[in-house]
Amino acid sequence: MIRHTTQAARLLPWTGDGGKPCYLLGDGEGYVSRVADNIESVQLGMAADLLGHVEDLLSDRSATPEQLRYVVARLAESLREVHRVPRSRGARLVGEAVRADHPE
């Protein structure tokens, strides 16, 4: 019996060779899914910490252009990582909706 699935691929919170996106097919309950959940949680926590640092730096009138450039670069990195979280979760939500509309 051939089984067709409408399962959505999960965009993982890391990239592969050359910065290519990595995806996971599964039920969301396996080891790699738990690792990805943990990494997403760490990324979100680090983004929150970075925002606190940015607020402090912006209120410091003696901040140098080099310090500001550095923190902007870290913000860009963090935003890139954190942006993957809703993209991944949104794609999974769409996949769940499709499966609900077409149960096996």
36: number of Cβ within 10 Å: 21
Q: Residue 57 and residue 47: Cα distance in Å, rounded?
A: 15
Using DSSP, state whether 24 is helix, strand or coil.
strand
Amino acid type, 19: G
pLDDT in tens, the chain (104 residues): 444 455 678 889 998 999 898 999 888 889 999 999 999 999 999 999 999 999 999 999 999 999 999 999 999 999 988 888 877 776 666 555 444 444 45
Taking the model in full, what pTM does it have?
0.69
